[in-house]
């Protein structure tokens, strides 16, 4: 059995994401698609537009076979740590053969060349970055410009295990390669594979929509940013740019979204007002200078988004500031992303992929959240301590998200101990919502809880090693 891994946010899931799943399966001839997905918060330092359970359901309905949660500390980190977390989780599963990711250039060779250079760029490269930052450029802009100045003109030989049948895109020049967010993230995936000495084969697909931050449509493709902006301005889902399965689920669960950064304004203000600059610097992405700036400008705080704009400088990008403030809210530290992810929090899977789970031996798979700490006892002392730290951050993130959603919409999501694992039987075909949402969506009668749109339905717990599908294979 061959499996391809995808690291994603699905914030929200759109036609480009479904295209990636289809192409990843086709290009790699994979039997299964395993997704590592951000949970309650995402990499730009904001809450997810919809909750992780809705996004899990949509991903499974649109072709994914299994969805694991990327721990919050990695999901809200810089591209380097985000990539390292996702790749290390796929590596830990031990059953993933390839990693498929989207990029603007669609050229795995150009990305690999960049990764090889950036793995050991030399002192001249670092000096150039410092000089450019000193002139007022942001670190990402300085890094891109320094790469264009120092990158080798000749191709660097790529490993033999990278075997792509795609045609390299000659437009992916050194000057533009590090200016596109998905190219940057793709390079970080390759660096993480190199760091972990992984045998996972990387492949890339050219994005069908516009860039990460673009808000205009291209054919049937629109970026997640464009979809969120459309909803906020028009008050409705842009149905032409989402798969039918996603549209049906989102329309059935209309009171589950959207959640925005400003919904956390009061929480964030309380945290910042009770935290000294010295305490702030213990959190990830918060330098001494940024901590001082936050402290000095706090009297002008109105909302979270306004405060981010107020803090912005040439040195600090909006994304950097957003992530820093989120780290302060969630108490996440840089130490949490130093080690590989040592467990997999299973959010949902198809019955046809249950056999794949039995191939995972030493890597803890969390299906019953109350037993998570017991699962960590399988790990070494250092890994167990790290896993507990990540898990506690996830619990805090989920609880804050739940509380915020309840306050805004009246929707009471179950906590992680009652949400269970979303499951689709082998023979299941998606049906539109038939039953209204119960007043109390909590149900702890079974281990697995299945969501059809917005209702919650209890499912009898599976016996160990058994296929839950009626008439299915074990």
The answer to whether the CB of 348 falls within 8 A of the CB of 464 is no
Cis, peptide link before residue 279, omega less than 30° from 0: no
pLDDT at 416: 78
The answer to whether the CB of 474 falls within 8 A of the CB of 448 is no
* DSSP states of 308-344: HHHH--SSS-HHHHHHHHHHHHHT--GGGGSSPP--E
Give me the phi and psi of 328, to 5 degrees please. -65, -40
| 200 Cα distance to chain centroid | 19
pLDDT tens-digit series, residues 59-69? 999 999 999 99
Beta bridge partners of 346: 68
pLDDT tens-digit series, residues 445-473? 233 334 333 333 333 333 334 333 333 33
pLDDT at 441: 35
As a whole number of angstroms, the longest Cα–Cα distance in the chain is 67
Mean pLDDT value across residues 331-358: 93
Instruction: Give pTM, 2 decimals.
Output: 0.84
pLDDT tens-digit series, residues 358-399? 888 789 999 888 888 888 988 999 999 999 999 999 999 999
Q: Cα torsion at 20, 23, 25, 26 (round to 10°)?
A: 180
Q: What percent of the chain has pLDDT over 70?
A: 82
For residues 266 and 233, give the distance between their C-alpha atoms in angstroms, rounded to a whole number: 24
pLDDT at 412: 86
Write the DSSP symbol of residue 413. Answer: P
pLDDT of 418 higher than 90: no
Mean pLDDT value across residues 275-284: 96
What average pLDDT does the structure give for the chain?
83
The answer to whether the CB of 214 falls within 8 A of the CB of 135 is no
Residue 219's Cβ-count burial label (10 Å; 0-12, 13-18, 19+) is exposed
Confidence of residue 173 (pLDDT cuts 50, 70, 90): low
Buried b (16+ CB within 10 A) or exposed e, 119-140: eebeeebeebbeebbeeebbbb
Mean pLDDT value across residues 156-174: 42
pLDDT of 115 higher than 80: yes
* DSSP states of 193-230: HHHTT--PEEEEEE-SSS-TT--S-BTTB--HHHHHHH
* DSSP states of 132-181: HHHTT--HHHHHHHHHHHHS-SSPPPPPTT----SPP-TT--HHHHTTSH
The answer to whether the CB of 422 falls within 8 A of the CB of 64 is no
Mean pLDDT value across residues 424-443: 40
pLDDT tens-digit series, residues 20-73? 999 999 999 999 999 999 999 999 999 999 999 999 999 999 999 999 999 999
């Amino acid at each position: 059995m061959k499996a391809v891994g995808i690291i994603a946010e699905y914030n929200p899931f759109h036609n480009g994401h479904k295209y990636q799943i289809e192409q990843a399966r086709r290009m790699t001839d994979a039997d299964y698609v395993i997704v590592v997905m951000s949970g309650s918060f995402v990499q730009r330092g904001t809450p997810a537009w919809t909750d992780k359970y809705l996004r899990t359901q949509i991903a499974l309905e649109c072709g994914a076979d299994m969805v694991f949660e990327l721990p919050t500390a990695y999901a809200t980190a810089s591209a380097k740590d985000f990539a390292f977390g996702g790749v290390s989780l796929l590596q830990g599963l031990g059953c993933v053969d390839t990693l498929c990711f989207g990029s603007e250039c669609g050229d795995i060779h150009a990305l690999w060349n960049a990764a090889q250079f950036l793995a050991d760029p030399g002192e001249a490269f670092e000096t150039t970055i410092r000089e450019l930052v000193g002139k007022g450029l942001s670190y990402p802009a300085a890094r891109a410009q320094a790469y264009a100045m120092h990158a080798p003109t000749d191709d660097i030989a790529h490993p033999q295990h990278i075997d792509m049948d795609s045609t390299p895109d000659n437009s992916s020049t050194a000057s533009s390669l590090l200016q596109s967010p998905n190219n940057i993230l793709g390079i970080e995936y390759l660096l993480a594979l190199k760091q972990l000495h992984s045998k996972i084969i990387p492949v890339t697909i050219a994005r069908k929509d516009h860039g990460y931050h673009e808000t205009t449509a291209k054919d049937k493709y629109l970026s997640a940013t464009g979809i969120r902006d459309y909803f906020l301005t028009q008050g409705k889902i842009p149905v032409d740019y989402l798969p039918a399965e996603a549209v049906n689920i989102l329309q059935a669960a209309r009171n589950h979204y959207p959640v925005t950064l400003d919904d956390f304004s009061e929480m964030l203000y309380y945290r910042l007002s009770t935290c000294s600059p010295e305490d702030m610097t213990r959190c990830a992405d918060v330098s001494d200078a940024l901590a001082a700036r936050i402290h000095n400008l706090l009297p002008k705080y109105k909302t979270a988004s306004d405060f981010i704009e107020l803090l912005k400088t040439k040195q600090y990008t909006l994304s950097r500031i957003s992530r820093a403030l989120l780290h302060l809210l969630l108490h996440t530290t840089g130490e949490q992303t130093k080690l590989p992810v040592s467990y997999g929090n299973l959010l949902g899977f198809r019955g046809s992929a249950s056999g794949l789970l039995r191939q995972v031996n030493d890597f803890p798979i969390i299906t019953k959240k109350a037993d998570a700490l017991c699962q960590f006892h399988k790990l070494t002392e250092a890994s167990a301590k790290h896993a507990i730290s990540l898990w506690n951050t996830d619990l805090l993130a989920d609880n804050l998200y739940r509380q915020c959603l309840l306050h805004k919409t009246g929707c009471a999501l179950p906590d992680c101990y009652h949400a269970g694992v979303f499951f689709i039987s082998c023979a299941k075909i998606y049906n539109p919502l038939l039953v209204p949402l119960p007043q109390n969506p909590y149900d702890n009668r079974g281990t697995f809880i299945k969501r059809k749109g917005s209702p919650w339905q209890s499912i009898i717990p599976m016996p160990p090693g058994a296929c839950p599908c009626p008439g299915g294979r074990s």
